[in-house]
Homo-oligomer: A and B are copies of this chain.
Amino acid sequence: MSSSNSSTVPHLELTPAIILVEPQLGENIGAAARAMLNCGLTELRLVRPRDGWPNPKAVSASAGADSVVEKAQVYRNTRESIADLHLVFATTARARDMVKPVYTPTGAAKEIRQAIQKNHKVGILFGRERSGLTNHDVMQAQGIITAPLNPAYSSLNLGQSVLLIAWEFLKTGDNTPEVEEVLGDGQLARQAQVQGLIEHLNEELDVASFYRSPDQRPAMQQNLHNIFSRARLTEQETKTLRGVVARLAALRRKISS
């Protein structure tokens, strides 16, 4: 993707390029590649990696994301690494004395998604492990991304930084419901089955003289009903619970007989 002309690529395939500026450790390049692929990003660019390129440690640390590592393009400086891009963001942990919009990862991800939908090619710059991006790097970007982390301990490692941004980008294209009731192989019980279970339980509790006084009975029955009505039982679960009630009742009858 790095060599293709973005204006001819259908926008659904476009994802932002991750650009590591003078990364020091191959392990971190590999971790960044892994985090990228986890989130569906595949275009990795490297500006003057300290230990040269290719780097076997990057491949082993990528833990299966070696396709990303192998396709990585290497550049001589930041300027050349972004020349074909329409929109560039610079990630920084600390505030810079620059007149430039500062985005949260969430805010930047929305802007990136919008740009990509217009077939704009986007890149995100990540700095050196020790010192981050220089002002000369940041100057070249249209926006800054800073994650609002714990101010007393905001230093993320390189792979973690890439993951946060890639994850936020992934989410802008994801419509998984925030919570979903999963039934496994089961079918949700119809109310008649839940009602049957509760009636069965109430009958056996009456037989077993569960209620010490008749006054207790309505409130306690309501509580029990609530437990089982809010549980959203499956068909199989109502059968299992009826079996439990029947068995406990049978055991009691055996003991009391």
Give 1 or 0 for each of A108-119: 1 = CB within 8 Å of chain B CB.
101100000000
> Is A204 positioned at the interface, with any CB of B under 8 Å from its CB?
no
A100 at the interface (CB under 8 A from B): yes
Residues of B with C-beta under 8 A to A154 = 38
Q: How far is the CA of A170 from the CA of B170 in the complex (A)?
A: 18
Chain B residues positioned under 8 Å from A95 (CB to CB):
182
Q: In the bound complex, do residue B149 and residue A38 qualify as a contact, i.e. CB atoms below 8 Å apart?
A: yes
For the side of the interface on A, what is the size category?
A: 35 or more
Kindly list 19 other residue pairs between chains A and B, CB separation below 8 angstroms, not including A104-B179, A108-B179.
A34-B157, A34-B160, A37-B150, A38-B149, A38-B150, A63-B157, A96-B184, A97-B184, A99-B186, A99-B237, A101-B180, A103-B179, A104-B176, A104-B177, A106-B178, A110-B178, A111-B179, A150-B170, A167-B167
Is B155 within 8 A of A104, CB to CB? Answer: no
**Using a CB-CB cutoff of 8 Å, which residues 77-119 of chain A contact chain B?**
95-104, 106-108, 110-111
Answer whether residue A39 sits at the interface, using C-beta atoms and an 8 A cutoff.
Answer: yes
Q: Which of A34, A95, A99, A174 has the most CB of B within 10 A?
A: A99
Chain B CB within 8 A of A40 CB: yes
Q: In the complex, what residues of B have CB within 8 A of residue A63's CB?
A: 155, 157
- B153 near A38 with CB under 8 A, answer yes
Q: Determine if A171 is an interface residue (Cβ-Cβ < 8 Å).
A: yes
B160–A148 CB distance below 8 A: no
When distances are taken between beta carbons in the complex, the residues of chain B under 8 Å from A40 are: 149-150
Q: Does A25 contact B (CB under 8 A)?
A: no
Q: Contact partner of A99 among B99, B101, B182, CB < 8 A?
A: B182
Closest residue on chain B to residue A100 by CB atoms? B182
Expressed in whole angstroms, the minimum distance between the Cβ of A60 and any Cβ of chain B is 13
Question: A167 contacts which chain B residues (CB < 8 A)?
Answer: 147, 164, 167
- 23 A-B pairs within 8 Å (CB atoms) are namely A34-B157, A37-B150, A37-B153, A38-B150, A38-B160, A63-B155, A64-B155, A98-B184, A99-B183, A99-B186, A99-B237, A101-B180, A102-B182, A103-B178, A104-B177, A104-B178, A107-B177, A108-B179, A111-B179, A143-B179, A150-B170, A163-B163, A164-B167
Contact A182 B37 (CB under 8 A): no
- Contact B98–A182 (Cβ < 8 Å): yes
